[in-house]
Chains A and B, each alone.
Chain A
Amino acid sequence: RKEVEQDPGPFNVPEGATVAFNCTYSNSASQSFFWYRQDCRKEPKLLMSVYSSGNEDGRFTAQLNRASQYISLLIRDSKLSDSATYLCVLFTGGGNKLTFGTGTQLKVEL
């Protein structure tokens, strides 16, 4: 089983729609969780960290479910500029490394 699994998509949604991505992970010792955004042919950049209690940043809401070992990202009122690949990332302290999922591609259309 892969350490981090994501649906690759693409998710094609109209502008203004709400879209959600899930990500599952296999290592229960994972300590920290993040969502990164990667634009085409660019480096990934941090979108938001994911906290156990769930957290919101504007139109973006992240959730963590440790019992079921998944994290989610909800985007409300999608904008054309949200089109990108969203990477699920987890940090494992024992191995001291960041592990990235393969990403979910989002395309927001007019």
Chain B
Amino acid sequence: SQTIHQWPATLVQPVGSPLSLECTVEGTSNPNLYWYRQAAGRGLQLLFYSVGIGQISSEVPQNLSASRPQDRQFILSSKKLLLSDSGFYLCAWETTGKGTEAFFGQGTRLTVV
């Protein structure tokens, strides 16, 4: 069966520090991968999505970046965090690229202080 792992579950980082969140998928190949952010009391904002290794599409200009070094690995990074980067970060995957069911990781709750 397919599973998605996302870590860490919670993170408290000072302003200006770097960030690296990792997401891996098991049990499937060539998934479409997504990073979303959900600010407190708000909806999910699509940050990046990837249809293959090294292929990253950015939805919102910001100080975040994403990379996909392997087929089932998706990394969200920042060189210097801002207070506004606080939120609930969710990785998701879906296989067909036709909008069939998307499966989410358990999320990382990031607080920038």
- Report A's interface with B, CB cutoff 8 A: 31-32, 34, 41-46, 49, 87, 89-91, 93, 96-103
For chain B, the count of residues having a C-beta within 8 Å of the partner chain is 26
If the complex has contacts A43-B107, A44-B104, A45-B104, are A101 and B43 also in contact, measured as CB distance less than 8 A? yes
Partner of B98, one of A43, A93, A101, A102: A93
- Report B's interface with A, CB cutoff 8 A: 32, 34, 36, 42-44, 46, 49, 51, 57, 59, 88, 90, 92, 94, 97-102, 104-107, 109
23 A-B pairs within 8 Å (CB atoms) are namely A31-B99, A32-B99, A32-B100, A34-B101, A41-B109, A42-B107, A43-B90, A44-B104, A46-B101, A46-B102, A49-B101, A89-B102, A90-B99, A91-B99, A93-B97, A93-B99, A96-B51, A98-B92, A98-B102, A99-B46, A100-B46, A102-B43, A103-B43
If the complex has contacts A43-B105, A43-B106, are A98 and B98 also in contact, measured as CB distance less than 8 A? no
Task: Determine whether the beta carbon of B34 is less than 8 Å from that of A97.
Answer: yes
Bound CA span A37–B92, Å: 15
Measured CB to CB, the closest approach of chain A to B59, in angstroms, equals 7
Q: Which residue of A lies closest to B102 (CB)?
A: A98
